Amino acid sequence: MNLPQETRRALVKTYKETVRPAGVFVIRNTLDGRVYVAGSLDVEGAMNRARFELNQRSHRNKSLGRDWTTHGAAHFSFEVIDRVKERDDPAFDRKDELEKLLLLWREELQCTSENGYNTP
């Protein structure tokens, strides 16, 4: 696709200035129900990165990585389970709101017990 350089620059600038949805996602082992819960200020990007790392056998969670290698990608699902509700308030802190959601979902899904991959 050959775009004029000015158009390309404008598109890149618009992309970089766009706020990505922040949220919490879960990677679920469909064989035994174990879950890995994580969050990011760019939730879609974080899920893509996790999938890439698992496929490359370089995910930071070694237990999840071992199960991914043993059982195969077909036995895992990725799902965004909550998003940060953006507010038009100067005092609104996206990162703080994300941390609260992450704590809530980690407790709800008990991902730090034998039901999950997260470490306490």
Residue 59's pLDDT is what?
Answer: 97
Kindly report the number of other CB atoms within 10 A of residue 67's CB atom: 21
Q: What is the per-residue pLDDT for 7?
A: 87
As a whole-number percent, the residues of the chain with pLDDT over 90 amount to 77
Q: Is residue 117 part of a domain?
A: no
- Tally of domains within the chain: 1
Q: Tokens 């990677």 appear where?
A: 27
Cα separation, 85 vs 96, in Å, equals: 12
Give per-residue pLDDT as tens, 74-102. 999 999 999 999 988 889 999 999 999 99
Residue 62: domain span: 21-85+92-98
> What pLDDT score does 62 carry?
96
**28 touches 50 (CB < 8 A):** no
Residue 32's domain is classified under what CATH number? 3.40.1440.10
38 domain-assigned: yes
Distances (CA, A) of 96 to 23, 50, 58, 92: 12, 22, 28, 9
